[in-house]
Structure 1
Amino acid sequence: MDQPILIPQTNTEAPVKRKAIIIGAGPAGLTAAYELLKRTDIIPVILEKSGDIGGISKTINYKGNRMDIGGHRFFSKSDRVMNWWLNILPAQDTGNDQFTISYQNKSRQVAPGESITSHDSDKVMLVRERLSRIYFLRKFFTYPIQLSLDTLRKLGVGTTISILVSYLQAQASPRKPENSLEDFMINRFGKTLYNLFFKDYTEKVWGVPCNEIPAEWGAQRIKGVSIRKAIQHAVQSAVKKKKSKDISQKDTETSLIEQFLYPKLGPGQLWEEVARQVQEMGGTILMHHDVISVNAQDGKVISIEAFNKNDLQTVELKGDYFFSTMPVKELIASLEADVPQNVKEVAAGLQYRDFITVGILLKNLSEQDKRSGKWKPLQLKDTWIYIQEKDVKVGRLQLFNNWSPYLVKDPNTAWVGMEFFCNETDDFWKMPDEKIAALAIRELQKIGLANAGDVLDSTVLRVEKTYPAYFGAYERFDEVKQYVNTFPNLFLVGRNGMHKYNNADHSMLTAMVSVDNIIAGETGKDNIWSINTEQEYHEEKTEKTGQTA
């Protein structure tokens, strides 16, 4: 269904253009600017504190080798988002006249190359195969874990029996109430499988015990995945030898998606194209502008002050509407208003998890022959590899060659991203780049996936506040939400903007719905906050009985 468009009033006198000031040039901020320009007469001005477009969806170019920060698969169960992406970057021409993207009872034909960015062979979406595996006990397991014959063989008969018994116990006597992430996972997988494949990795990611993380995190990030569905998916995969051409795969849980779209030159390519179009349509993007003050008066936000790190000047930008993707913690701290003390306390206590990626360029990946001890080339088709091993700090590997071969300058080399989860207060974060890179190289050899002698180059990238945490002061987050909702012209959107572990498509939807509300004159924000929680946007599709299509 087409979205409503706000038609500007026509007067004999030229009306004063309304403005929207947008904090952040990531997916949510750029989507808001694009939607405003396409559907209203409101002119957006984006303030971006860094020199990069795309937020955590940016692509870093290191000597011709591109890095995707955290990995971004382009699939969504929202028709609106899928259409939006393909309007910016079309699907690559594979020789077929068209292919079908279908979900629920809707389908659409996509003709490769049909978009507003035609005539540029690089501005395309590739269709990529997903393969993510768990690396545990120096062996590969399917991700998410499946009780296949291969898995059972690698774990052994005793462990397999223990998994099944503990799962049946959890089903017969689930933990109630389900307060923590530990409760959530044990209820769905049983205690044995939880201890084997979930506990240590999750604590490596978040740096706190699973029994201190609310169950809400699991409900949002591990939606619908369970032993029952893992077995069902394994059986279906074995029976269905012919692969589906359904890219959106709306009936498939997030963790089981097997195909996805991916910009040829990485996710940042799409957002750089959006930024180009925003500016072409009359929007403004101010880079290296750090917000220092959000000014409010009479219950509304009236302006934002930002520090230009290039010319060391402070500018004040007045507007009619304001969108914030900056961390809620920083927004409340910079808000010049009579902020209640409890709101200040909760916002100040919000926690985040930071992230370091070490890019390692190798002649090739390799494994050590158990008999001769010699290293031999290793071919892996994975996009992500989850490192469950306790004896290393690295949490996940990205094999950039497999995301897109165009991310790698020399296709005869292996370009690997080693991901470390940490806090910016940790000693590890503060280590010099060369020491972090050396540790990463040692660990890559230690787990048996590369020979340190094959390393050609390396680089270290730090990303702050990558993951908003669901512990600490988060349990009182509603107090902050209720307060910021009192400002009718202030819209919190995106992952950090809402302190909500959204994927990129959910972040985009929060911006789209905010623009919907402006057009409709809707001042309530419930429909924005409900994205990625209510069924329409929730990636777990609730099974309904007794209904016909």
Structure 2
Amino acid sequence: MTASKSPLVIGAGPAGLTAALRLLERDVAPRIVEATENVGGLARTPVDGSWRIDPGGHRFFTKSEEVADLWRSLLPADQWISVPRRSAMLVDGHYVRYPLRGRDLLWQRGLGKGLHGLGSLMWARLRTGPRIVNGAVSFRRWGTYEFGRHWYQTFFDGYVRKTWLTDPDDIASDWANQRIKPIDWRVRSDQELTTTDVFRYPKLGPGQLWEAAAEELRSRGIEPKLKARVVEAQYGASGWTVTLQNGETCLADGLFSSMPLHELIEALKPRPPEYIRAIAARLRHRGLITVAVALRERLDIPYHWVYTPNSAFRSGRIQNYSLWSPDLAPPAWPGSHLGFEYFVDGPTGTWGIDDEELVRIVRDDLRALGCGDSTVEHLMITRSQHAYPVHDSTRERNVQRIRNFLAARYPSLHPIGRNGMHHYDNQDHAMLSALKSVDRYFGADVDPWQANTDEGYHESGLVNG
């Protein structure tokens, strides 16, 4: 190992673990600290006996051979399964397949509503003119252009309010270009649709991969330090002195930080200028509470994800774990295994809702789904505090100002990952930001912030099989 290098990796999610693995490849032994008691971040797999859950719903898709090779190196082929994506919007008792398909929109909810939606879409296009491409426009404006006012209000307005916890006029549309696909007007068979949208998935959930990554680090002498929250990062002529919550200190010549960007700014010493701290304080996150429910009855829900845009549900999305992998439930489990996802506003407000109230809410949602609560066999609650950076109208400008400040003052500081860069990345993009940051640590002229700038990027199909 190269003794002259002493990097510290903050965070043991996909970005942090990837950075640590890449540093080892370059013959450098990093240290890695993680604030929570788990590795994997949102991509962990909480376990209760034989029950496993996926808190965020993770498809393993990438356009990067480098990322795909890393995934394959960590888990053998027999630990991966191929999962055909099937998603739907639950509206007025109808499961409308998502991504939205023209023939479903025209016929499934009645020809009258279909023609009304089509007319609304045509009017939106004529009224708006050339296609909206500016990522700074509001989500409402983007969605109305992309789907027409009627279909936007039917499928997206309520969903965005529940999941982003704000008015769609106050959310920028840049994330939507990657996350929300346009209407598919092609005439294709159901079999064709199923076989062309397939993803890899670890048999035991996403955490299986990241636990394997942590085990690989341990086998090479690197033990991720858990429950080790960073409270101060002092920068000086000799490098970094990082203080943990328990008072322990770590010396480093470079930092790879996937901790939330606003927390990093508050931890820096000397203290950044007040205007930078004020900008960072405005960066927001959504928390996620997942309530996994095992039902003794087998529900006829042929979808992995069910989006619930209307007010009949408190949950924003329901996962059908039974379709992700049978190994997320006990062997030969005959019933249903569902995950109700509730998006909350971080450490305040609804984040503090207690388990008893959550159980009441999920039972109401079960009734809205059409099943009684007497069939509940097992229930499991998981909280993920900094799950999703919020892309409000000021995020891009504020992050750019923070980024410029950090680059000028701290050349050996490398923000990585979804939270470190405050960007709504997929896990492969988080990994790419880490890989590029390690290359930069060794002197390469690369920009890790460009790891996810493809406006039209969509997760689609089984790539790098």
Instruction: Give TM-score scaled by structure 2 length.
Output: 0.92
The question of 1:304 aligning with 2:251 is answered no
Question: Residue 179 of structure 2 contacts residue 458 of structure 2 at CA under 8 Å; is this kept in 1?
Answer: no
Consecutive unaligned residues of structure 1, counting only runs of 5 or more, are 1-7, 9-14, 93-123, 245-257, 309-313, 366-377, 542-549
Question: Residue 358 of structure 1 contacts residue 458 of structure 1 at CA under 8 Å; is this kept in 2?
Answer: yes
The match for 1:418 is 340
Matches within 5 A, 1:94-493: 124-148=79-103, 150-174=104-128, 179-222=137-180, 225-227=181-183, 230-232=184-186, 235-237=187-189, 240=192, 243=195, 258-298=197-237, 301-308=239-246, 314-365=247-298, 378-410=299-331, 411-424=333-346, 427-448=349-370, 450-471=371-392, 473-474=394-395, 475-486=397-408, 487-493=410-416
Q: Secondary structure at the match of 1:68?
A: coil
Q: Deviations over 1:187-223 (max 9, x none)?
A: 211111111111111111011111111122323433x
Q: Secondary structure at the match of 1:304?
A: strand
Identity %, equivalent residues: 31
Question: How much does 1:241 deviate?
Answer: 8.2
Question: Residue 332 of structure 1 contacts residue 347 of structure 1 at CA under 8 Å; is this kept in 2?
Answer: yes
Distance 1:406 1:400 in 2: 9
Distance 1:451 1:338 in 2: 55
Question: Residue 54 of structure 1 contacts residue 268 of structure 1 at CA under 8 Å; is this kept in 2?
Answer: yes
Identify the match of residue 70 of structure 1 among 56, 81, 86: 56
Q: Which amino acid aligns with 1:59?
A: T
Distance 1:341 1:241 in 2: 53
Question: Residue 258 of structure 2 contacts residue 420 of structure 2 at CA under 8 Å; is this kept in 1?
Answer: yes
Distance 1:202 1:529 in 2: 26
Q: Which has the higher helix share?
A: 2
- Quick one: structure 1 residues 382 and 85, their matched pair in 2 at CA, closer, same or farther if it must change by over 3 Å? same
Distance 2:225 2:245 in 1: 11
Distance 1:65 1:238 in 2: 31
Q: Secondary structure at the match of 1:231?
A: coil
Distance 2:422 2:182 in 1: 26
Distance 2:302 2:182 in 1: 25
Q: Which amino acid aligns with 2:71?
A: W
Q: Which amino acid aligns with 1:465?
A: H
Q: Deviations over 1:242-268 (max 9, x none)?
A: 945xxxxxxxxxxxxx21111111110
Q: Secondary structure at the match of 1:155?
A: coil
Q: Deviations over 1:128-158 (max 9, x none)?
A: 121111111011010112111x443332222
Consecutive unaligned residues of structure 2, counting only runs of 5 or more, are 461-465
Distance 1:268 1:239 in 2: 30
Structural RMSD (CA): 2.2
Q: Deviations over 1:47-82 (max 9, x none)?
A: 011111111100000122001111101111111111
Q: Secondary structure at the match of 1:391?
A: coil
Distance 2:50 2:18 in 1: 28
The match for 1:34 is 21
Q: Secondary structure at the match of 1:289?
A: coil
Larger radius of gyration: 1
Q: Secondary structure at the match of 2:411?
A: coil
The match for 2:463 is none
The match for 1:370 is none
The match for 1:84 is 70
- Quick one: structure 1 residues 185 and 242, their matched pair in 2 at CA, closer, same or farther if it must change by over 3 Å? closer
Identify the match of residue 36 of structure 2 among 20, 28, 50: 50
Q: Which amino acid aligns with 1:442?
A: D
Question: Residue 399 of structure 1 contacts residue 415 of structure 1 at CA under 8 Å; is this kept in 2?
Answer: yes
Q: Secondary structure at the match of 1:52?
A: coil
Question: How much does 1:17 deviate?
Answer: 4.3
Distance 1:180 1:282 in 2: 48
Distance 1:417 1:539 in 2: 24
Distance 1:412 1:434 in 2: 27
Question: Residue 91 of structure 1 contacts residue 127 of structure 1 at CA under 8 Å; is this kept in 2?
Answer: no
Question: How much does 1:290 deviate?
Answer: 0.9
Question: Residue 127 of structure 1 contacts residue 259 of structure 1 at CA under 8 Å; is this kept in 2?
Answer: yes
Instruction: Give TM-score scaled by structure 1 length.
Output: 0.78
Q: Which amino acid aligns with 2:172?
A: P
Q: Secondary structure at the match of 2:161?
A: helix
Question: How much does 1:538 deviate?
Answer: 4.0
Q: Which amino acid aligns with 2:99?
A: P
- Quick one: structure 1 residues 380 and 332, their matched pair in 2 at CA, closer, same or farther if it must change by over 3 Å? same
Q: Which amino acid aligns with 1:170?
A: A
Q: Which amino acid aligns with 2:111?
A: V
Q: Secondary structure at the match of 1:286?
A: coil
- Quick one: structure 1 residues 534 and 143, their matched pair in 2 at CA, closer, same or farther if it must change by over 3 Å? closer
Q: Deviations over 1:445-486 (max 9, x none)?
A: 1231x2211111212222101110112752422111111122
Q: Which amino acid aligns with 2:109?
A: L
Q: Secondary structure at the match of 1:390?
A: coil
Q: Secondary structure at the match of 2:248?
A: strand
Q: Secondary structure at the match of 1:198?
A: helix
The answer to which structure, 1 or 2, has the higher relative contact order (CA under 8 A, 6+ apart) is 2
